[in-house]
Amino acid sequence: MMREKGNALIKSTLTVIMSVALMLTMLSFVPGLGTQEASAETIKLNNPVRENGVTTWDCVYFGRYKQSSDGKGGFKTEPIKWRVLNVNGDEALLLSDKNIDGGIRYNEIETDITWKDCTVRSWLNGTSDGNFMNKAFTPQERNAIADKTIANTDNPVYGTPGGEDTTDKVFLLSYEEVTNPDYGFEDNKDYSGDGEYMGCGASKTREAADTAYTASKSESMYVEGDAESWNLRSPGHLSYYCGVVAYDGSFGGDGSYVDDDRGCVRPALYLNLKAENLYQYAGTVNSEGVAKTSEINPEKVSMLTPKVGRRYMTVKWKKVSGGVYYQVGYRQKGSATWKYTGSRTTSKTITKLKSRKYYYVKVRAYKKVSKVKYYGEWSAAKRVKIK
Name which of 36-40, 106-110, 157-161 the model is least confident about: 36-40
Query: Cβ contacts of residue 218 below 8 Å, gap of 6+?
Result: 102, 103, 261, 262
pLDDT, tens digit, 9 for 90 and up, residues 31-72:
333 333 333 345 789 999 999 899 999 999 999 999 999 888
Whole-number Å distance between alpha carbons of 329 and 196: 57
- Give the pLDDT score at 34: 36
| Encoded amino acid at 230, one letter | W
Name which of 142-146, 164-168, 228-232, 324-328 the model is least confident about: 324-328
Q: CB-side exposure of 173: number of CA atoms within 13 Å?
A: 22
Three-class secondary structure of residue 256 per DSSP: strand
What mean pLDDT is reported for the chain?
85
pLDDT, tens digit, 9 for 90 and up, residues 196-216:
888 899 999 999 999 999 989
Whole-number Å distance between alpha carbons of 359 and 29: 24
- Give the pLDDT score at 373: 67
- Whether the model pTM is above 0.75: no
Domains of the chain listed by start with CATH number: 49-272 (no CATH), 297-385 (2.60.40.10)
Q: CB-side exposure of 234: number of CA atoms within 13 Å?
A: 26
Name which of 2-16, 46-60, 302-316 the model is least confident about: 2-16
Whole-number Å distance between alpha carbons of 121 and 126: 8
